[in-house]
Amino acid sequence: MTLLSREQTIDSLQRFKRLRDAALHEDVDQFEHHLERVVNFLKTDPFVSQTLNEMLQVSQVDIENWWQHLEEAAAQRRGIAGVWFPEDSNDEQAMRFLIMEQIVENERKLFDFGFKIGVHKLQPAKEHFRSVVARPFFEELSDRLGKAAGLASPEARALQAVPFDRLPSENEVKIFLSHKTADKPLVRRFHRALVELGFQPWLDEPDMPAGRDLERSILQGFEDSCAAVFFITENFVDEKYLATEVNYAIRQKRKKGEKFAIITLVFSQDYEIPGLLETYVYKVVQHELDGLYELIRALPIELGPVRWKEAVVRN
């Protein structure tokens, strides 16, 4: 089976529907013309011909046998109700297609069809042919093509459409990780996990350009952030150093409001919460995974395409 692109499949289906509907619904005087166009299309279109050939290849039908049946039915005056088709679905489809192909090759067959079903004028014969032979074929083929197209064109990736006010700019979605040097191994693990999830954590070590002033870099780090995370461990005893970063965080909180979170992760109940942070939400975490979970929950941004949480911008 030839693999076709999604565009090719869609183009084939569009053309199929257009030609099918022309054959079934356009002025009956032009029926032969439209039938020829659609039959030629069915045989040559790369997508449609695959489905058609699947039916034709497994079928063993004798078209002369069909005309014979029609004649016998006419002799018994069963009229249109006596038009016979094989019971097997593929055989029936193949038979209908071969009859249409024969009509295209020899238009006098339409007269034969009309006479055999008791319709002696060409125009009503064509109308009956469209209803009795062509339409059931096209309906079944439409169904099969729809299924084949569904298989050939798996669902494309989905997009999200986000309101403007929920889209932060690039320079306000970092997550500032405030820590003591002794806790660097712990904070690096958080850093890696956050990066892997798609966030942009700010850590002094990789994010501070060489030779840049420490205080200025840290301040810029806060400016670019939507959250400051404080890791309170047994190592976090230097209140003075902490106070500077807490002050920066509080300033950002006042400036940005709901779009900035101060997140304090306390790794043991035995550790005292620094006084400046007590007024902000903090969590005593049991282990690092628990800490990561609480951190993500407290962020004002969410995963996927980066956006403000709805509650942040709607309140």
DSSP per-residue codes, 72-101:
HHHHTT-GGGG----SSHHHHHHHHHHHHH
Give how far Cα 229 sits from Cα of 61, 177, 223, Å. 76, 5, 14
Stretch that binds another protein, among 63-71, 154-162, 187-195, 225-233 (CB under 8 A): 154-162
Closest by CA to 144, choosing from 228, 53, 218, is 53
Residue 49 in the binding site for another protein (CB under 8 A): no
**302 and 309 in contact (C-beta within 8 Å)?**
yes
Residue 142 beta carbon to another protein: minimum distance, rounded to whole angstroms: 5
- Radius of gyration for the alpha carbons in the chain, expressed in angstroms and rounded: 37
Candidates 124, 206, 257, 275; binder of another protein (CB under 8 A) is 124
Structure tokens at 141: 């083929």
Residue 171 in the binding site for another protein (CB under 8 A): no
Q: How far apart are CA 215 and CA 205, in angstroms?
A: 13
Q: How far apart are CA 221 and CA 218, in angstroms?
A: 5
- Which residue's CB is nearer to another protein, number 65 or number 123? 123
Residue 149 in the binding site for another protein (CB under 8 A): yes
Closest by CA to 97, choosing from 70, 65, 59, is 59
Residue 3 in the binding site for another protein (CB under 8 A): no
Residue 307 dihedral angles phi and psi, to the nearest 5°? -155, 155
- Which residue's CB is nearer to another protein, number 159 or number 210? 159
Residue 166 in the binding site for another protein (CB under 8 A): yes
Candidates 77, 157, 240, 287; binder of another protein (CB under 8 A) is 157
Residue 34 in the binding site for another protein (CB under 8 A): no
Residue 293 beta carbon to another protein: minimum distance, rounded to whole angstroms: 24
| Residues engaged in binding another protein (CB under 8 A) | 6, 9-10, 13-14, 17, 20-21, 24-25, 121, 124, 127-128, 130-131, 134-135, 138-139, 142-143, 145-146, 149-150, 153, 155-164, 166-167, 305-307, 310
